[in-house]
Amino acid sequence: MSFDVVGTLIDFEGGLKACLSEIAAEANTTIDGEEALALYRAARYADDADLFPDDLVRVYLVIAPKLGLPVDEAYGRRLRDSAKTWRAFPDSAEALARLSRKYQLIAMTNARRWAFEYFSAELGNPFYAAFTADETGTEKPDPAFFHKVFDFVAGENASKDDIIHVAQSQYHDIGISRELGMTNCWIQRRYAQAGYGGTIEPAEFTRPDYHFKSMAELAEAVEIAQAA
């Protein structure tokens, strides 16, 4: 099983909102969390964007005046460094531990390696292998990212047909994994919320092979299938 990490396993939206809210409180103001995510999304996918989460320094300077926050690079660095403390979704670590009994788990994240190390530790270091933007030199949905993983799996005497790709982002993962002929599983983390939050909206919705609202549901389904 291959996994998107940020947004699927790690609650990056919660982490962003928490840090921005703390900055707002210190500035004697408040922010609307969903508005902040929408502004983040628009700024994050600019042509001059850097790798994630380093790019959060630039992003902060873009969105701060629109949120009424102090425009200071030090706060941008604080937002970037907050990635070190972002929490996993409550079900992520346990679900990964359960899934690792049957599958070798591969992380596929657009984050840089330094940030991934914190995310992996938060999740209990469950991965057999991991691919970050540093190793691939690109970000999903670039097919080149996926082909790096395919090449690795081929060295393990397997192929992309043996992979189930698990992710929450229709734009970064589900659509492209379908185009590349992978079996995929959509974890709809925002099922109770409207819109796409901090993730870019896809040009069109891709119906996944499997669809769950949480990692816990996926782990449960795997165990039921095994028992049958």
Active site residue ranges = 4
CB 176 within 8 A of CB 143: yes
Neighbours of 165 (CB within 10 A): 26
Beta bridge partners of 185: 166, 210
Coil, strand, or helix at residue 45? coil
Tokens of 136: 């691939």
Angle, CA of 44, 108 and 128, to the nearest 5°: 150
Beta bridge partners of 212: 187
d(CA 123, CA 204): 31
